[in-house]
Amino acid sequence: MYPQYLFEYPNIDSDFPFHMKKKRYTSVPSHRHDFIEFSFVLEGKGIERINGTEHDLLPGTIVLLLPYQIHEYRAHADETLQMYICNFDMKLLTSGPESAWGLHELLLGRDNAQPAYIHLQGKAYDEALQLWERLYQEHESSLAWKPIMIRALLLEALSLFVRNSSQHDQIQKEKQRPVSSNGIWLVVQYVYDHYLDPISLTTLSERFHMHPTWLSTQFGEALGINFVDFLHELRIRHACSLLISSDLPISQVAFESGFSSYPTFSRAFLRIKGMTPRQYREQQGQVQR
């Protein structure tokens, strides 16, 4: 059974796909999503598991989760975790010139020495706390140039994460399995950008010079899902958008979403959404009325 797949958050379809919340948790079950999650622990202690590897959560822990990484977390007994959590689309960071200045490597080229999290204390913690509070206040405001300010503060928070990651002694001391290898996340990003095109393990292996069997294994280990199901989930998400926002015949929605076969589309849709495309369109139409 695959972990829960989350593919929505407030304003994900807006021109600025960024959402932030401040919330208390006792536990969050195993799940994955196709957007970035950036979090900061304010209060409480607990454990987070990322791709099968556990690490502590405590005040000052900052975690950067790439799309499709499987994770869960829980507070210790008699504890509650209070956290800032940011969700945003990868393209919010990779579409500008900043990508060439280090963001591309941060998101898609992380090597084995780079942890998915850091623990901040002292002056570094105080600096991070003030920064995240400013980011949250900006998100909750309705001031002019709000998206510009949020993006600037988000980049500053990522810069702080990177600088403290490179200095953190856990890089040498902790026996943590690498969250991902460089290669597979380049492939993931490519599929994410081209899922409407004809794509197969064969074409990907030729493009990235990787053996199809190795590539298939890496998808399973890194994402907890095989390549075909991963591709279908991206396409079904696109199909859902078309079903809601257009009057296209369902058969055309299937082909517009990258499926070359309508029966394959129907089976994939039923498996992922638990209903037929027609039922989904009718249900969403009732919700919007």
Final residue belonging to a domain, choices 148, 173, 198? 173
Dig out the tokens for 227 from the structure. Answer: 């390549």
Same domain for 62 and 137: yes
- Print pLDDT tens along the chain (289 aa): 445 655 566 776 677 889 999 999 999 998 878 788 999 999 999 999 887 789 999 999 999 987 777 789 999 999 999 999 999 987 777 666 766 666 656 665 554 445 689 999 999 999 999 999 999 999 999 999 999 999 999 999 999 998 888 655 444 444 444 334 456 777 887 887 789 999 999 999 999 889 999 999 888 877 777 899 889 988 998 898 889 888 999 999 999 999 999 999 999 999 988 999 999 998 877 655 5
Q: What pLDDT was estimated at residue 179?
A: 37
Q: What pLDDT is recorded for position 32?
A: 77
Phi, psi (deg, nearest 5) at residue 57: -115, 125
Contact of 88 with 72, CB cutoff 8 Å: no
30 and 145, same domain (yes or no)? yes
Q: Are residues 113 and 252 in the same domain?
A: no
pLDDT of residue 31: 82
The CA R_g of the chain, rounded to the nearest whole Å, is 20
Q: Which residues contact 125 (CB under 8 A, 6 or more apart)?
A: 59, 60
Asked whether residue 40 falls in the same domain as residue 121, the answer is yes
Q: What is the CATH number of the domain that holds 249?
A: 1.10.10.60
Residues 108 and 201 in one domain: no
Please tell me whether residues 100 and 132 are part of one structural domain: yes
189 lies in which domain range? 182-288
Of the candidates 225, 227, 226, 214, the one whose C-alpha atom is nearest the C-alpha of residue 183 is: 214
Instruction: Give bridge partners of residue 23 from the DSSP assignment.
Output: 83
The set of residues, in sequence order, having a beta carbon less than 8 Å from that of 204 and lying 6+ positions away, is: 187, 190, 191, 210, 212, 215, 227
Cβ burial 220-240 (10 Å sphere, 16+ → b, else e): eebbbbebebbbbbbbbbebb
- DSSP code, position 118: E
Tell which of 145, 173, 201 closes a domain: 173
* Domain CATH code at residue 116: 2.60.120.280
Does one domain contain both 91 and 189?
no
Domain identity same for 138 and 211: no
- Same domain? For 166 and 191 the reply is no
167 plus 188 within the same structural domain: no
> Looking at the structure, do residues 56 and 35 belong to the same domain, yes or no?
yes
The total number of structural domains that make up the chain = 2
What residues have CB less than 8 Å from 140, skipping those under 6 apart?
none
- Domain stops at, among 173, 191, 218: 173
What is the helix, strand, coil percentage profile of the chain, to 5?
A: 50, 20, 30
Name the 3-class secondary structure at 22: strand
CA distance 231 to 235: 6
155 and 210 both lie in a single domain = no
pLDDT score recorded for residue 153: 97
